[in-house]
Amino acid sequence: MTAEVKHAARKAESSRAFRVVARAGYAANGLVHVLIGVIVLVVAFGGKGETDQIGAFKAVASAPAGFVALWILAIALLALGIYHALEGILARGGDAAKKWGRRVAEFGQAIVFAALGVISASVALGAKPNADRSAEDASRGVLAIPGGALVLGLVGIGIGIGGVAFVVMGVRRSFENRMTQPPGPLGAAVKGLGIVGFIAKGVALVIIGILLLVAAVKVEPTAAGGLDAAIDALLAQALGPVLVGGVGGGLIAYGVFCFFRAPYADL
C-alpha cells in the first residue's frame, strides 16, 4: 500500500463521527442476526420463513417505519464495511505475512458488511431478492465456465474454513482480543454469548460450504444455497428441529453479543 493511501485511510478512520456510525454497524449486524435467529426458531417449531439475511431485512421492511429502519441499517453496515476496508489497508503490526493475513481477513469482513448494506438498501427500494435462488444462479454461472466446478468447490471450501474459524474463535474466545470486556457479571455474560454465538454461526457457515462443495462435485447448481438452504438441510437430519433450534438460539446469542460489541469494540 502506498504512503498516500495509508495516510488517507488514517485520516478517514480518525473521524469521530465515522467511528460512531461504524459502531452502529455492529448493532445493525446484531439486529439482523437476532431476527434470523427468531425466524430459524419459528421454522424449527414447524413455521415458515426465510431464514437468512434477506428474510431478516424483509421482516424489518414489514414493520412500521421499516423503510427508514432499512436505510439506517444500510448506512451503518456500509460504514462498518468501510472501516474494515481501512483496517485492511493499514494492517498494523507484525511481519509482512501477518499483515497480509490481516488484510485478507479485514477485506473479507469489509465485503460481507458492505454486501449486507447493499441488500438492506435494495430491500428499502422495493427489491425482493432470494438468497438461495441467487446462490443457485451464481453456481450455475460458475459451473458453466471451464474449470467452474473446481472454482465453486474452492469457494465452498473457503466458506467452510471461515465457518471453522468462527467455531475456533468461539471455543478459544479469541473475539475478546478485539474488544474491551465490560467488568463483572456483564462481562461474563457477554463472553458466554460470544462463545455460543460464534460456534452457532460457524456451524451454519460450514453447512453452507458443504452445500456448495456438493454442488461442485455433482455439477448440480440446485444443490447450492445460502443459510436458508443450510437450515433445510439440518431439518432433514435426525433430530432436525432440535439442531435447527440450537442454531437459532445460537444466532440470537451472536446477535445480542454484537449489540454489546458495538460500544466495547476496539476501534
- Asked if 140 and 189 count as a contact pair (C-beta separation under 8 A), the reply is no
Read off the amino acid at residue 119: I
Rg (CA), the chain: 19
Neighbours of 71 (CB within 10 A): 15
Model confidence, pTM = 0.84
| Grid cell of 149 as nine digits | 466446478
* Residue with grid cell 431476527, as numbered in its chain: 35
Length of the chain: 267
Distance of alpha carbon 46 from alpha carbon 122, whole angstroms: 29
* Residue with grid cell 460450514, as numbered in its chain: 206
3-state class (DSSP) for residue 111: helix
> Which residues sit opposite 13 in a β-bridge?
none
Neighbours of 66 (CB within 10 A): 16
Neighbours of 62 (CB within 10 A): 8
pLDDT tens-place values along the chain, 267 residues long: 566 767 666 777 778 888 889 999 999 999 999 999 999 999 888 888 887 888 888 889 888 888 899 999 999 999 999 998 888 887 766 667 777 777 888 888 889 899 899 999 998 888 777 666 666 767 777 777 777 778 878 888 888 888 899 999 999 998 888 888 888 889 899 999 999 999 998 988 888 888 888 877 777 766 666 777 788 888 888 888 898 899 899 999 999 999 999 988 887
Domain hosting 50: range is 3-264
3-state class (DSSP) for residue 102: helix
Structural domain count, the chain: 1
Read off the amino acid at residue 202: G
